[in-house]
Structure 1
Amino acid sequence: MSLQLDWSNEQTKFEIPEQWIGRLQELLRLAGEAEGMEEGEVTLTFTDNEQIHQLNRDYRSIDRPTDVLSFAMQDDGTDELDIIFEVESEDEPDPISGMLGDIVISVEKAKEQSEDYGHSLEREIGFLFVHGFLHLIGYDHQDEESEAEMTAKQEAVLQKAGLSR
């Protein structure tokens, strides 16, 4: 198995070209390589500001839309509910053991930000996807040092993929 990307589009304002999905799969592979990860599954959902606003309010108690949310399956944080899965047979693999988690991107917010930063929507979505992936595997940006580390990792992956500013 390798790093796998499953995706869905739950918004109607912007078309998601197939070439972007290929680029996101490449970004997942590059980010995984940079972190020494060879296996796992990431689910990506494209949404709009209204849906991500609701998720942000419900799961983070922040009452506004955001650009990207990450929901880690392997998170062992004290604020997360424990997921208990019993395997009925030792021969059956645990279906969630390889799940890294879910990333939700507001394409509407990404479009706004791409215009603000003066780069393509494809680059902004790539940036948000790598950002979300890093959250799934345990990175955070609660202080200046950790934010600088995440930003450097994101930019390195984007440059390797040809999505630099």
Structure 2
Amino acid sequence: MSIDVNNESGWEVDEQSVLDVARYALQRMRIHPLSELSLIFVDTDAMEQLHIQWMDEQGPTDVLSFPMDELRPGKEDEEPPQGLLGDIVLCPEVAKKQGDGAGHTMDDELHLLTVHGVLHLLGYDHAEPDEEREMFGLQKEILESWRAQRDSGPASPDA
């Protein structure tokens, strides 16, 4: 899996852990190992500009996803297609505020937002209640499994 990380935010970020959770989520979703993803950390001004440009909404947001080849989760009995997943843009400053409000660290919030971004790249959405249940349930499963693996040692993403 080729994942490029670019920190333009001015914030100190644990890039390796964000990279690890992104890689884990992609493996868990059976994305071809030669597919490509970009993770970009930006400041609030840059995020606000992207938010206005692409979502027509004011103010910075926490994460934006920009799919490229519209890849979808692989199936157990099929070889998944290789391609460009796209870009996930994260704003550490917004993540810090949200993490503080939720009672956890900025890193934990960035992990959650990274998985959230991966799922959006793979076609998941949360506009409708049933979509929200599916996406957030899957997001929770992936994060819990990744944290358990991280805290106890290597485990298969398919577990």
The TM-score, its normalising length taken from structure 2, stands at: 0.80
Pick aligned residue for 1:59 from 30, 36, 54: 54
Which of the pair has more CA radius of gyration? 1
Pick aligned residue for 1:102 from 79, 87, 96: 87
Partner of 2:32: 38
What aligned pairs does 1:106-125 form with structure 2 within 5 A after superposition?
106-125=91-110
Pick aligned residue for 2:12 from 15, 21, 32: 15
**After TM superposition, what 4+ stretches of structure 1 lie above 4 angstroms from structure 2?**
none
Return the alpha-carbon distance in structure 1 between the equivalents of residues 19 and 90 of structure 2: 15
More helix by share: 2
Return the alpha-carbon distance in structure 2 between the equivalents of residues 110 and 69 of structure 1: 12
Secondary structure of residue in 2 paired with 1:147: helix
Confirm or deny: 8 A CA contact 1:4 1:25 kept in the other structure.
no
Pick aligned residue for 2:21 from 21, 24, 27: 27
Pick aligned residue for 1:160 from 125, 132, 145: 145
How many equivalent residue pairs?
A: 137
The TM-score, its normalising length taken from structure 1, stands at: 0.77
Question: Percent identity of the aligned residues?
Answer: 36
For residues 98-129 of structure 1, give each alpha carbon's deviation from its aligned partner in whole angstroms, at most 9, with x where no partner exists. 21000000110000000000011111000000
What aligned pairs does 1:124-139 form with structure 2 within 5 A after superposition?
124-139=109-124
Query: What's the C-alpha RMSD, in Å, of the aligned pairs?
Result: 1.7
In structure 2, stretches of 5+ residues that fail to align are 72-81, 149-159
What aligned pairs does 1:75-86 form with structure 2 within 5 A after superposition?
75=70
Return the alpha-carbon distance in structure 2 between the equivalents of residues 155 and 5 of structure 1: 22
